[in-house]
């Protein structure tokens, strides 16, 4: 399935967060949205998933949903958004309970995603008993349980430490490579975008405009190879040049706010 | 033989500056303090440091309690009060839950309800007794209504601020999975508000006990509140304190039950 | 704390002064002795207000400080705790329980329920009246609202039961704590009758909420109130107590002359000092004179007590379980300050 953004703008009061965005997530690719904080990338993801209404423009869906899809557009959240009073299994089940499924299939789906995300031994644990990485695995398992056609990843690794991020990224890519679900991956981390994305869209800050869309020619499975490293380094430098100036402004602005507050 | 760095002064152990400020369980401390206070109290009366008229000794309070128990009226006092507390608390809580939930979930209900609750909450219920008697008579209904009124407003506030405290991100998550409205309320909002609601129960249970005395000002023959009032009017200070002891015991028992309930319902915390 | 220190100091001064009669006169001339009196803003405390306003206390070398309380129960408590040196109020079971533990001594009379003085009414609701509750003999089996168990209302009802020889346990006493609660229960028909102070009774009558079928004073005269102090005062400051009683009795005499005279037909005869006295009461009670005139109880001109009646009260409360067995009426009353008490038991 494809997700097409046509001329989307969004304003919060007087502030223009997004200005004339045209972009599409193509079938079976991971599109990374990258930009400094305050560039409206999370707002754009909210609009792309239909939980935020844009001030102008529209979002279109093209192509057929996958077989067995219960919730075509499914989010994975930065803060995991797990219900603390439900167990791992209960949190995954939440996404299925309101659908008409026979109990056997529901159980099978839960078993399947828990196994795939390595949570089989933790199904009875409560979120507070889990590490951050394990919690996000629950978030991913919950998303996979509804067999989404498009995954909307809202800074899924930003709340985790560097090592956990690395491990989870590996595991996610391994899962993704089997099914190649169309995904939009929002991040402010350039290295992360270069690891997971097929294309990287760079947003400018306030108002958020599309600066550039860069395709990464190397398949995800080969990015660890030495041969790919040079190409990726060049891409990194090019993207960094695009982002750097604005990231500096953004950082100073936050610092000024801190001083004023 | 202290280890020595070359050319420098001898090394010394780093002074420890941490510790404290961390509540650690001290089992039995409460009991010891309790017993000590009772003992000092008894001693003070026995030694005539205070006149028994102003503060009867714990032993005479106990004797007064035994007297009422042996007369067979203690259980009647306790049971009639328990019935009133249970009925008043239940009615007030159910009404408070209904209003609190609508205020938490619907903007219109909140806009209408919040100023009304703020205006009516601080009214001392005891000032309304003559009105309650006119409306509801002097039977059980007006006594139960006094307690229910006192319980109602704090419950409303606990429920709606509990709902307010449910993280918006969890509700957005529910919406993103296309959960129907009633599922979001039942599976996300209600359990999310539960800690706040249970904390409210603790407060309203105490309020119900406090209002028992007011409620039993309305022509009650039996009941711990009526017993305390009568003892106060008759200046029987030992009986008065015996009644107070009963109320405290009731408060402790209800508190213990609520703690159990909390531990069971909020075991995910 | 500081107050009791001062009190102790004064006690010391007075004791030394009493030992040497001469300096006492000097002390009197120099500075009046402060005394505090616990009172309610009721016309039954009239003798105190009059003695204060007319300067009788000052003439005895006393500087009175009136401490106003809002409930009868608070006055004996204040005297017990030493917050007031003297108190005047109605006699209740609670009073006797305090007095019985050696905290209070009755030294003179205050008001008395007396025929022809309409102060507390037996008031029945219209429904109850229509239903046959037309006389006080019909009270058994009915619900009667009152303030509290152990109150003066309770005792009045006890006397009534004795008079009409019915068992007090056959009337259901409904304790409602406060007059507004009683009025509400009465208007709502929750009780068949109440014992209502005259102002409430007149108000309910004016609203046609019920009928008055009798007055406590007409039915069962009794020693309603008393002047009392603490045993400590009598032991340590007896001369002060004597001076206080002298001034109080002058107030009582003025009060009685102004308000309590009746002709042969029982009609009120106003004393020559009526205007002055009613003005004093109206000012202290913060009410119009006409309103005050509605409810002026009888006060003995010489402060004499119906002693037997006080003994009977103690017996009654003990028999009904409202007063402790250890309360000894003999120890509560000190007859030495007033001459000619009535019905003194041997």
The secondary structure of chain B, three-state, reads CCCCCCCCCCCCCCCCCCCCCCCCCCCCHHHHHHHHHHHHHHHHHHCCCCCCCCCCCHHHHHHHHHHHHHCCCHHHHHHHHHHHHHHHHHHHHHHHHHHHHHHHHCHHHHHHHHHHHHHHCCCCHHHHHHHHHHHHCCCHHHHHHHHHHHHHHHHHHHHHHHHHCCCHHHHHHHHHCCCCHHHHHHHHHHHHHHHHHHHHHHHHHHHHHHHHHHHCCCCCCCCHHHHHHHHHHCCCHHHHHHHHHHHHHHHHHHHHHHHHHHHHHCCCC
In this predicted structure, the answer to whether residue C21 has a pLDDT above a threshold of 50 is: no
Distance between B43 CA and the closest CA of chain C, angstroms: 20
**Rounded Cα distance, B165 and B104, in Å:** 10
Strand-strand pairing, A56-62 and A2-12: antiparallel
Task: Give the three-state DSSP class for C262.
Answer: strand
The answer to whether the Cβ–Cβ distance between A84 and B172 falls below 8 Å is no
CA distances, C8 to each of A33, C13, C249 (Å): 87, 9, 27
Region class of A38: left (phi > 0), else alpha (psi between -120 and 50), else beta: left
pLDDT of residue B7: 63
B133–C190 CB contact, under 8 Å? yes
Question: Do residues C153 and C165 both lie within one domain?
Answer: yes
CATH for C73: 3.40.190.10
- List the single range of A88-92, A243-247, C27-31, C52-56 with lowest mean pLDDT: C27-31
Structure tokens at B166: 């449910």
Cβ distance A94 to B187 less than 8 Å, yes or no, reads: yes
| Domain count within chain C | 2
In a domain, B27, yes or no: no
Torsion angle (degrees, nearest 10) of CA B19, B23, B28, B31: 120
**Contact call for C177 and B217, based on CB within 8 A:** yes
Mutate to test the interface with B, among A73, A85, A156 (most CBs of B within 10 A): A85
What does the longest C-alpha to C-alpha distance in chain B come to? 93
Residue with the larger pLDDT of the pair C28 and B199: B199
Q: Please give the DSSP secondary-structure letter assigned to residue C151.
A: S
Residue C10 pLDDT more than 60? Answer: no
**Mean pLDDT along residues C64-84:** 90
**Do B169 and A79 lie within an 8 Å CB cutoff?**
yes
CB pairs under 8 A between B and C: 84
Which chain B residue is nearest to residue C322, measuring alpha carbons? B234
Distance of alpha carbon A197 from the chain centroid: 10
pLDDT value at residue C247:
96
Would you state the structure tokens that stand for residue A215, as one six-digit string?
């395709």
Say yes or no for a CB contact (<8 Å) between A83 and B188: yes
| Average pLDDT of span A153-181 | 84
In angstroms, the CA C227 to CA C91 distance is: 10
H/E stretch holding C75 reads: helix C74-81
A12-21, B15-24, B251-260, C256-265: which has the minimum mean pLDDT?
B15-24
Does one domain contain both C158 and C264? Answer: no
* Contact status of B236 with chain C (Cβ, < 8 Å): yes
- Residue B3: the pLDDT is 53
- B202 assigned to some structural domain: yes
Bond prior to B75 in cis (omega within 30° of 0): no
Q: How confident is the model at residue A165 (pLDDT cuts 50, 70, 90)?
A: confident
- Helix H or strand E segment including A184: strand A182-187
Mean pLDDT of B19-37: 81
Range A1-65+151-157+182-261: architecture per CATH? 3-Layer(aba) Sandwich (3.40)
Strand order in the sheet with C210-215: C172-175, C143-146, C193-197, C120-125, C210-215
Q: Can you give the pLDDT at residue A203?
A: 85
Give me the residue label for tokens 């002097």.
B138
Q: What is the pLDDT of residue C14?
A: 42
Separation between Cα atoms, residue A197 and residue A30, nearest integer Å = 5
Nearest Cβ partner for B233 among C81, C150, C181: C150
Dump pLDDT digits (tens) for A90-132: 999 898 888 888 888 888 888 888 888 888 888 888 998 888 8
Q: Which residue pairs, CB below 8 angstroms and at least 24 apart, start in A131-135?
A: A131/A164, A132/A80, A132/A159, A132/A160, A132/A161, A132/A164, A133/A160, A133/A164, A133/A167, A133/A168, A135/A80, A135/A82
Touching status, chains A and C (3+ beta-carbon pairs under 8 Å): no
Residue A225: the pLDDT is 78
The residue among A207 and B209 whose pLDDT is bigger is B209
Q: Looking at the complex, does the CB of residue C275 fall below 8 Å from at least one CB of chain B?
A: no
The structure tokens 């190879």 sit at A225
Phi, psi of A232 (to 5 degrees): -65, -35
The per-residue pLDDT of chain C, averaged, comes to 89
On whether residue B28 sits in a domain, the answer given is no
DSSP for residue A66: P
For an interface test with A, the pick among B178, B183, B197 (most A C-beta atoms closer than 10 Å) comes out as: B178
- Average per-residue pLDDT for chain A: 83
- State mean pLDDT over A53-78: 84
Q: Please give the residue of chain B at the shortest CA–CA distance from A82.
A: B170
- What is the average per-residue pLDDT within B229-248? 89
> Is A21's pLDDT higher than 90?
no
Which residue in A116, A109, A100 sits closest to A147, CA to CA?
A109
Per-residue burial over B126-150, b if 16 or more Cβ lie within 10 Å, else e, is: bebbbebbbebbbebebbbbbbbbb
Tell the residue number behind the tokens 């965005």, with chain if given: A21
Helix axes C21-30, C2-19, angle to 10 degrees: 130
Quote the radius of gyration of chain C (alpha carbons, Å).
21
- Predicted pLDDT at C9: 45
Question: Looking at per-residue confidence, does B218 or C298 come out higher?
Answer: C298
Provide the pLDDT for residue C5: 47
Structural domain includes residue C18: no
Whether residue C313 sits in one domain with residue C241: yes
Give contacts of A128 with chain B, Cβ < 8 Å.
268-269
Q: Which tokens in the block code for residue C75?
A: 């006055």
Find the residue in A nearest to B183 (Cα).
A98
Domain count, chain B: 1
Report d(CA B27, CA B34) in Å as an integer: 13
Place of tokens 């494809």: A2
pLDDT digits (tens, 9 = 90+) for C221-231: 999 999 999 99
Cα–Cα distance for residue pair C34/C194, rounded to 1 Å: 41
Determine contact, residues A26/A182, Cβ cutoff 8 Å. yes
Tens of pLDDT along A188-240?
A: 888 888 888 888 888 887 788 888 888 887 787 777 777 778 888 888 888 88
Strands C261-262 and C268-269: antiparallel
Give the pLDDT band (50/70/90) at residue C30: low
User: What is the domain-level CATH number for residue B103?
Assistant: 1.10.3720.10
Least confident of A166-170, B86-90, C101-105, C310-314: A166-170
d(CA C257, CA C301) in angstroms, rounded, equals 8
Bigger pLDDT: A148 vs C134? C134
For the ranges C16-20, C28-32, C165-169, C258-262, which has the lowest average pLDDT? Answer: C16-20
For the stretch B177-206, pLDDT in tens is 888 899 999 999 999 999 999 999 999 999
Give CA–CA dist A50/C205, Å, rounded: 73
B50 touches chain C (CB under 8 A): no
As a whole number, mean pLDDT of residues B225-246 equals 89
Same domain? For C214 and C228 the reply is no
Q: If you measure CA to CA, which chain C residue comes closest to B52? A: C101
Cα-to-chain-centroid distance, residue C113: 10
Predicted local distance difference test score (pLDDT) of residue C29: 56
Domain boundary among C192, C219, C246: C219
Poorest-confidence range of A28-37, C32-41, C336-345?
Answer: A28-37
CB C146 within 8 A of CB C157: yes
> Quick check: is B228 in a domain?
yes
Q: Which residues of A touch B (CB under 8 A)?
A: 49, 51, 71, 73-75, 77, 79, 81, 83-86, 94-95, 97-98, 126, 128, 142, 146
Residue B6 pLDDT grade (very low, low, confident, very high; cuts 50, 70, 90): low
- The SS3 of residue A53 is coil
DSSP structure string for A185-220? EEES-HHHHHHH-SEEEEEPSSSB-EEEEEE--S-G
Q: Which of A71, A77, A85 sits opposite B268 (nearest CB)?
A: A85
| Residues within 8 A of B (CB atoms), C 13-42 only | none
In whole angstroms, what is the distance from residue C163 CA to residue C161 CA? 5
Q: For C173, phi and psi rounded to 5 degrees?
A: -85, 125
- The verdict on C149 and C298 lying in the same domain is no
Residues near B234 by Cβ (< 8 Å), separated by ≥ 6?
A: C93, C94, C97, C149, C150, C322, C323
CA distance B98 to chain A (A): 23
pLDDT digits (tens, 9 = 90+) for B41-57: 899 988 888 877 778 88
Which 3 state secondary structure label does DSSP give C67?
strand
Q: Is the pLDDT of residue C130 over 80?
A: yes
Read out DSSP for C208-250?
A: TSEEEEEEHHHH--B--EEEEE-HHHHHH-HHHHHHHHHHHHH
Query: Above 70 in pLDDT, residue C17?
Result: no
Among B160, B163, B158, CA closest to B199: B158
Chains B and A touching, counted as 3 or more CB pairs less than 8 Å apart:
yes
For chain C, list the contacting chains (3+ Cβ pairs, <8 Å): B
Smallest Cβ distance to C181: which of B54, B133, B230? B133
What does each C-alpha distance from B160 to B113, B165, B169, B172, B195 come to in angstroms?
11, 9, 18, 19, 12
- How open is the CA angle C210-C212-C217, to the nearest 5 degrees? 150
**Residues C152 and C195 both lie in one domain:** yes
Reported as a single tens digit per residue, the pLDDT across B106-123 is 888 888 988 998 888 888
Query: C198 with C240, same domain?
Result: no
pLDDT band of residue C26 (cuts 50, 70, 90) is very low
In whole angstroms, what is the distance from residue C178 CA to residue C145 CA? 10
**Is residue C227 located within the same domain as residue C215?**
no
pLDDT of residue B24 exceeding 80, the answer is: no
**ipTM entry:** 0.85
- Domain match, C60 and C104 both: yes
Q: Which residues of chain B neighbour A142 with C-beta distances below 8 Å?
A: 177
Question: What is the pLDDT at residue B134?
Answer: 83
Domain that holds residue C164: 120-219
Distant-in-sequence, close-in-space partners of C231: CB < 8 Å, separation ≥ 6: C102, C103, C104, C105
A258 pLDDT higher than 80:
no
Q: Which two tokens stand for residue B1?
A: 């033989």
Residue-number span of the structural domain to which B226 is assigned: 56-265
Model confidence at A255, pLDDT cuts 50, 70, 90, reads low
Q: How many other CB atoms are found less than 10 A from the CB of residue C61? A: 19
Mutate to test the interface with B, among C175, C232, C327, C332 (most CBs of B within 10 A): C175
User: Does a structural domain hold residue B42?
Assistant: no
């Amino acid at each position: 399935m494809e997700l097409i953004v046509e001329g989307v703008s969004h304003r919060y009061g007087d502030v223009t967060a997004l200005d004339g965005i045209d972009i599409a997530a193509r079938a079976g690719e991971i599109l990374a949205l990258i930009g400094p904080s305050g560039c409206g990338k999370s707002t754009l993801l909210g609009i792309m998933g239909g939980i935020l209404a844009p001030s102008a423009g529209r979002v279109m869906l093209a192509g057929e949903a996958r077989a067995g899809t219960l919730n075509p557009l499914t989010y994975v959240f930065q803060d995991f958004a797990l219900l603390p009073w439900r167990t791992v299994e209960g949190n995954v089940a939440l996404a299925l309970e309101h659908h008409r499924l026979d109990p056997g299939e529901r159980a099978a789906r839960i078993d399947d995603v828990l196994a795939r995300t390595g949570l089989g031994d933790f199904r009875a644990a409560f979120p507070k008993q889990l590490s951050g990485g394990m919690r996000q695995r629950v978030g991913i398992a919950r998303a996979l349980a509804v067999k989404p056609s498009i995954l909307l990843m809202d800074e899924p690794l930003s709340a985790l430490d560097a090592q956990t991020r690395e491990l989870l990224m590996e595991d996610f890519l391994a899962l993704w490579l089997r099914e190649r679900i169309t995904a939009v991956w929002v991040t402010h981390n350039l290295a992360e975008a270069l690891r997971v994305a097929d294309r990287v869209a760079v947003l400018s800050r306030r108002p958020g405009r599309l600066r550039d869309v860069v395709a990464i020619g190397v398949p995800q499975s080969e990015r660890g190879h030495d041969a790919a490293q040079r190409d990726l380094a060049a891409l990194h430098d090019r993207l960094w040049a695009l982002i750097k100036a604005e990231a500096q402004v953004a950082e100073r602005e936050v610092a000024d706010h801190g001083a004023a507050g | 033989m202290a280890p020595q760095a070359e050319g420098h002064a001898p090394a010394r152990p780093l002074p420890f500056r941490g510790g404290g400020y961390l509540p650690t369980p001290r089992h039995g401390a409460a009991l010891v303090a309790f017993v000590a206070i009772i003992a000092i109290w008894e001693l003070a009366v026995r030694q005539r440091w205070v006149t028994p008229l102003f503060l009867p000794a714990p032993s005479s309070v106990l004797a007064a309690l035994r007297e009422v128990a042996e007369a067979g009226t203690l259980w009647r006092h306790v049971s009639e009060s328990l019935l009133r507390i249970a009925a008043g608390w239940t009615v007030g809580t159910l009404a408070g839950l209904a209003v609190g939930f609508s205020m938490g979930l619907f903007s219109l209900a909140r806009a209408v309800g919040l100023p009304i609750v703020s205006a009516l909450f601080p009214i001392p219920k005891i000032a309304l007794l003559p009105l309650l008697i006119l409306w509801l008579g002097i039977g059980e209904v007006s006594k139960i209504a006094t307690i229910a009124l006192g319980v109602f407003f704090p419950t409303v506030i606990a429920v709606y601020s509990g709902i307010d405290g449910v993280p918006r991100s969890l509700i957005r998550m529910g919406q993103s999975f296309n959960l129907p409205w009633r599922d979001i309320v039942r599976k996300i909002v209600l359990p999310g508000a539960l800690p706040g609601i249970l904390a409210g129960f603790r407060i309203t249970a105490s309020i119900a006990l406090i209002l028992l005395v007011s409620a039993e000002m309305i022509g009650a023959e039996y009941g711990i509140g009526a017993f305390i009032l009568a003892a106060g009017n008759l200046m029987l200070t030992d009986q008065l304190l015996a009644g107070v002891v009963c109320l405290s015991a009731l408060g402790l028992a209800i508190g213990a039950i609520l703690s159990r309930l909390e531990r069971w319902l909020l075991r995910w915390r | 704390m500081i107050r009791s220190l001062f009190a102790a100091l004064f006690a010391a001064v007075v004791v030394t002064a009493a030992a040497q009669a001469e300096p006492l006169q000097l002390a009197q001339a120099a500075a009046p002795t402060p005394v505090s009196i616990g009172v309610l803003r009721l016309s039954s405390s009239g003798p105190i207000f009059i003695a204060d306003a007319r300067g009788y206390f000052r003439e005895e070398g006393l500087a009175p400080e009136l401490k106003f309380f809002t409930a009868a129960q608070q006055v004996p408590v204040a005297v017990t705790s030493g917050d007031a040196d003297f108190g005047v109020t109605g006699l209740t079971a609670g009073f006797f329980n305090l007095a019985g533990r050696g905290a209070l001594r009755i030294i003179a009379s205050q008001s008395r329920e007396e025929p022809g003085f309409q102060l507390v009414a037996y008031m029945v609701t219209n429904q109850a009246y229509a239903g046959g509750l037309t006389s006080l003999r019909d009270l058994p089996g009915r619900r009667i609202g009152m303030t509290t168990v152990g109150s003066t209302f309770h005792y009045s009802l006890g006397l009534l039961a004795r008079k009409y020889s019915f068992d007090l346990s056959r009337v259901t006493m409904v304790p409602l704590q406060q007059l507004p609660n009683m009025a509400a229960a009465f208007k709502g028909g929750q009780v068949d009758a109440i014992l209502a102070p005259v102002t409430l009774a007149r108000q309910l009558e004016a609203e046609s909420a019920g009928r008055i079928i009798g007055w406590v004073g007409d039915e069962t005269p009794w020693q309603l109130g008393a002047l009392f102090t603490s045993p400590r005062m009598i032991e340590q400051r007896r001369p002060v107590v004597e001076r206080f009683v002298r001034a109080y009795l002058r107030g009582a005499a003025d009060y009685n002359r102004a308000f309590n005279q009746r002709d042969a037909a029982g009609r009120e005869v106003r004393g020559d000092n009526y205007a002055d006295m009613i003005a004093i009461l109206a000012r202290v009670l913060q009410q119009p004179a006409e309103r005050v005139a509605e409810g002026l109880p009888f006060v003995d001109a010489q402060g004499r007590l119906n002693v037997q009646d006080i003994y009977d009260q103690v017996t009654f409360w003990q028999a009904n379980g409202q007063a402790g067995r250890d309360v000894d009426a003999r120890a509560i009353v000190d007859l030495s300050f007033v001459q000619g008490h009535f019905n003194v038991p041997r």
